[in-house]
Structure 1
Amino acid sequence: MKKREIIMLHLQGKSYRSIERETGINRKTISKTCKEYDANQKLLEREDLTNEEKDEVIRTIVEVKSYDSTNRKPRKMTTHLLRRLEEIAKDEVEKTSLLGKTHKQQLDGCRVHEMITDEGFEITYRTMMTYWKTIIEKAQEAFIRQDYGYGERVEYDFGEVKLYINGEVVKCHLAAFAAPASGFRWGYLYKNQKMDIFLDSHVQFFEMIGGVYTEVVYDNMRNVVSKFIGHKKELNPQLIQMSLYYGFDITTTNAYAGNEKGSVERTVEVIRKRLFTKKYKFDSLEHAQQHLHEGLKMMNQNCKIEEEKPYLRAYKVPYELSILVESKVDKYSCVCLDNNHYSVPDYLVGKSVKVKKYHDHYDIYANSNYVGTHKKIDGIGQYQLELQHYLKTLRNKPGALKHSLALKQCPQLLSIYQNHFKQNDREFIEILLKNTDKQISELPSVLLDAKDCKTTVSKSEEVIDAVKIEIRKLSQMYGLQQETEGDEICQLKH
């Protein structure tokens, strides 16, 4: 936390002395932290760095020292107790709606404290009242209108959207961004709102916008606030690391204060109503995502995002979100990742490969060389195979092609095989081996062209044979010399 605080003040242009006065941290520590941060940022700009060196520099930037907190005494106000107070407050609202605003049966602080102590919570009356007043007086508070400059602030929130995808009802999660100064709105659809999804939405947004806002504002969601310690909030360390890399400040709203990020609260509602009320059926999540972005482009036509972009902090290469793991290739030339199986080239059987795991795909490397990418499977115990990975093995075992799962997972190639190559497995395999440089989408046309070419040659030979027979008949009838037959045939071929 100290490192983040120093870096944020340093990025605001404050001197080491000013930072020392504000934080109470020794100036030598401040100087060392800032100089190390600036040096690493300059190092990232070098074009001759390898991917491993870049990863190491990024780890140095986002590394935060951890401290042993096992001996700290627990605080009385816990998240569980806070939720219980919130439940009591909701019951009071319901009571008021049923009995009327002027009823005389409101719970006072003494009764609330009595209720929670009877339930086993240990907390003093005064400490409890600090939180209770905040909850029950929320409706009576005044609001101050805010005015933000370009590039200063973007607000973030998650919202739910129910869609009908490929014949099933799917609860999607909309990661929404709203920039109050320019009125720009953007979002991404995901299948959950886990930490890797939460971080990925930020990387995608900064990449798309081409810069970074000074401040990102959140509510107290689990991905942002790991836990409450008394009146203080402990921020999620993964979010802190990403903020250190991009250089944005993390701001969280007060409890029960959605108005403090009202732009994004409204954005989630607007996107749901304008883009997913008329159209809610899609073939895939990708199609839904495409519909979302096309709709957002229309919604943003009158915003001032182009005027805001020059005020954003400088663009940086995408923050690396992968988890690096090592996996051994089994006898089926597959690696097992998250209880599913993904194919790799058959020459890697029995060897170990390294895998970069992302929230939606895997990048596979062997001896530091890129091998391929697989889209993550939803489910358990399933296989995702590419026929090109098995061609060398199939050349030696062509009989295995007919019932292979790799062929069945490519419907277009399977259809061509069954209609044109069912009696000639070797020819099918050899054509694919000669075209390993082509994409899977190009192979159907390659196979059909090869088959058409062979058919044309066969038909030409049939015609020539028929002409030969006719020439022999004519020769016998008119006594023509047989020596001319070859010349006639040569002329026909040409």
Structure 2
Amino acid sequence: MSKIELFAAIRRDLAAGMSGRAIEEKHRVGRRTVSAAMASALPPPRKTMPPRGSKLDPFKPAIDDILRADLDAPRKQRHTIRRIYHRLLDEHGMADISYQVVRTYVADRKPKIRAESGRGPIKVFFPQTHRPGAEAEVDFGEVVINLRGEPVTCMLFSFRMSFSGKAIHRIFASGGQEAFFEGHAHALKRLGGVPTGKIRYDNLRSAVAKVLGFSRQRIETQRWTAFRSHYGLDVFYCQPGIEGAHEKGGVEGQIGWFRRNHLVPVPRVDSFDQLNAMIDQWDDQDDVRRIGARDRTVGDDFAVEQPLLMRLPDDDFETGIWLTPRVDRYSQVTVRTNRYSVPVRLVGRPVRVQLHASHLVVYDGREQVAWHERLMAKGGSRLDLDHYLEGLIRKPGALPGATALEQARAAGRFTPVHDAWWAAARKAHGDAAGTRALIEVLLLHRHMLHEHVVAGLATAVRAGALTADAVALEARKFAEADDRPSMSPPAPRALPANVISLTERRLAQLPADTRPLPTVTAYDQLLRRRAEGTGS
């Protein structure tokens, strides 16, 4: 039993009301281990040894060929394990490998080869009756959405209650372990509890590290064991491949129904958050539908089973994965073969990255320094022009060809108005000075709304005002006329109406000076005393 499974067993016994001393005696552990299991379902990480190869690996193809040939051989003239072992010794030069190692591999591989050839046993199907609040099914399905004008293939997560047919859906950029966990956490929160019985799964890599033959036994991934222990999930793994699809046919059909009824035509959205908000509404609307020939709606049946669900744990499980990459000389971090920008002041330093299913957050210590939507393809880059502005002030010649600038143009954040003002500034002040002025304008976006800065740029271009101060002045006028709250803090007092210069405007931002005017009366008294002393 691994340590994470030990923690899961301890937490089960604690939930059943067993005392700490009884748990210590049962599992032969100390008080600290019991306390650690009470505090968290995830034990402290430990160093893992690299996997070891087997001496039998070079001879496995030969064994597979023998087993395939036996499929067409007479029943009484097929290879025994001992005959296979001797052939490996005589014909393939095998040495220093025991008979037991060969026997274990053949016992595991022989039924697989028979099933792969289509000669497995005949399957019989039986109708099932599901108890309220007890069973559920989980699966992923591919869907296509139109994300910011481009077709993108995503993964639809579905968690379906078997009794009522109530299903919770979520769309993610990928079907990795982060999406698997986030989908569960969202579904259980929306359902308001945890099923008391089995939850059926495929042999997803997010949950299953290894399938042990054709049995129901699985070696689970460590984080999945901790996750299901945290929520108290009781899992059931279907048979591998297409043959096990019927064991969770409810969720297989549910994904197809949802895709046809809600994702046709292909939805056009600007973000995954916007799409998932729509999906939550669709899930609520589906409560009024009837499945097949049922006389009750999905919502009616779910109202019966919802009170029977187990209570959710008080604290949430951290579904994101923490990574610690180092910022390279391009001010980027590499996460899952993709590159994401961070502020240039962090070049050469390690940072912390919290990877979620559809986005990632970069921290410098406890300070959040970057947020990026996760890339779905491999080998891509997502760069934020704002992260490079401090470096571009020193090297303005790098801006025209910068990849971050091209991505900002494609995303609509660097507009044709920016280009027009930049071209005029370079013509008036030269390439270097004009580009530095543009960078100062781009810095305004950090504390002013994007549309206010763009409006200020447009006014400055028409007026021929080609300095960052002039753009800031015009942008502030638009911000004051806008009813929406500005990103910058409010002025301490109202500005006078007759401000005609930037200097006066800056002084007007300061609070009123109530101090008395300076006086030299005290010093004049000293001068009189000195004069009187000299005269005597």
Q: CA-to-partner distance for each residue in 1:383-427, whole Å, 9 max, x for gaps?
A: 322222222233344454444333332234242212234414444
**Structure 1 vs Structure 2 CA RMSD:** 5.2
Which amino acid counterpart does residue 322 of structure 1 have in structure 2? I
1:48 — aligned with what? none
Aligned mate of 1:303, from 289, 299, 302: 299
User: Which ranges of structure 2 fall in alignment gaps of 5 or more residues?
Assistant: 58-62, 88-104, 289-297, 426-433, 466-497, 502-536
Alpha-carbon distance between aligned partners in 2 of 1:8 and 1:64, rounded to the nearest angstrom: 24
Q: How far apart are 1:434 and its partner, in Å?
A: 4.4
Q: Which one scores higher on RCO, CA 8 angstroms, separation ≥ 6?
A: 1
2:139 — aligned with what? 157
The answer to whether structure 1 residue 248 and structure 2 residue 233 are counterparts is: yes
Q: CA-to-partner distance for each residue in 1:201-239, whole Å, 9 max, x for gaps?
A: 323333544543344322444544421156451232232
SS of the residue 1:329 aligns to: coil
Q: CA-to-partner distance for each residue in 1:283-338, whole Å, 9 max, x for gaps?
A: 678376565444333213452556616833224323233142221331x3223334
Alpha-carbon distance between aligned partners in 2 of 1:168 and 1:431, rounded to the nearest angstrom: 30
Q: How far apart are 1:182 and its partner, in Å?
A: 4.1
Which amino acid counterpart does residue 168 of structure 2 have in structure 1? W
Q: CA-to-partner distance for each residue in 1:345-398, whole Å, 9 max, x for gaps?
A: 122233332323344333222244221122233445543222222222333444
- When residues 385 and 271 of structure 1 are mapped into structure 2, their CA distance, relative to the original with a 3 A threshold, is same
Residue pairs, 1:370-449, within 5 angstroms: 370-410=368-408, 411-421=412-422, 422-423=424-425, 424-438=434-448, 442-449=449-456
SS of the residue 2:282 aligns to: helix
Alpha-carbon distance between aligned partners in 2 of 1:393 and 1:127, rounded to the nearest angstrom: 63
Which amino acid counterpart does residue 303 of structure 1 have in structure 2? G
SS of the residue 1:299 aligns to: helix
Which amino acid counterpart does residue 394 of structure 1 have in structure 2? L
CA contact (8 A) 1:323 1:358 kept: no
Q: How far apart are 1:180 and its partner, in Å?
A: 2.5
The answer to whether structure 1 residue 314 and structure 2 residue 300 are counterparts is: no
Alpha-carbon distance between aligned partners in 2 of 1:65 and 1:333, rounded to the nearest angstrom: 31
Which of 250-259 and 313-322 deviates more? 250-259
User: Would you say how many aligned residue pairs link Structure 1 and Structure 2?
Assistant: 404
Q: How far apart are 1:28 and its partner, in Å?
A: 0.8
CA contact (8 A) 2:173 2:358 kept: no
Aligned mate of 2:363, from 350, 362, 365: 365
- When residues 116 and 365 of structure 1 are mapped into structure 2, their CA distance, relative to the original with a 3 A threshold, is farther
- When residues 116 and 241 of structure 1 are mapped into structure 2, their CA distance, relative to the original with a 3 A threshold, is farther
CA contact (8 A) 2:173 2:357 kept: no
Identity of aligned residues (%): 21
1:329 — aligned with what? 328
Alpha-carbon distance between aligned partners in 2 of 1:378 and 1:142, rounded to the nearest angstrom: 40
1:279 — aligned with what? 265
Which amino acid counterpart does residue 445 of structure 1 have in structure 2? H
Which amino acid counterpart does residue 419 of structure 2 have in structure 1? Q
2:186 — aligned with what? 204
Alpha-carbon distance between aligned partners in 2 of 1:14 and 1:402, rounded to the nearest angstrom: 68
CA contact (8 A) 2:8 2:229 kept: no
Residue pairs, 1:220-235, within 5 angstroms: 220-225=203-208, 226-229=210-213, 231-235=215-219
The answer to whether structure 1 residue 354 and structure 2 residue 339 are counterparts is: no
Residue pairs, 1:36-115, within 5 angstroms: 36=33, 39-40=35-36, 43=39, 57=40, 59-60=42-43
Alpha-carbon distance between aligned partners in 2 of 1:417 and 1:194, rounded to the nearest angstrom: 39
Alpha-carbon distance between aligned partners in 2 of 1:401 and 1:291, rounded to the nearest angstrom: 39
CA contact (8 A) 2:130 2:162 kept: no
Alpha-carbon distance between aligned partners in 2 of 1:262 and 1:382, rounded to the nearest angstrom: 37
CA contact (8 A) 1:343 1:385 kept: yes
- When residues 375 and 209 of structure 1 are mapped into structure 2, their CA distance, relative to the original with a 3 A threshold, is same
Q: How far apart are 1:178 and its partner, in Å?
A: 0.6
1:100 — aligned with what? none
CA contact (8 A) 1:4 1:240 kept: no
2:130 — aligned with what? 146
Which amino acid counterpart does residue 141 of structure 2 have in structure 1? G
- When residues 174 and 62 of structure 1 are mapped into structure 2, their CA distance, relative to the original with a 3 A threshold, is farther
SS of the residue 2:318 aligns to: coil
2:95 — aligned with what? none
Q: How far apart are 1:242 and its partner, in Å?
A: 1.4
Alpha-carbon distance between aligned partners in 2 of 1:12 and 1:137, rounded to the nearest angstrom: 42
1:99 — aligned with what? none
1:184 — aligned with what? 166
Which of 190-199 and 244-253 deviates more? 190-199
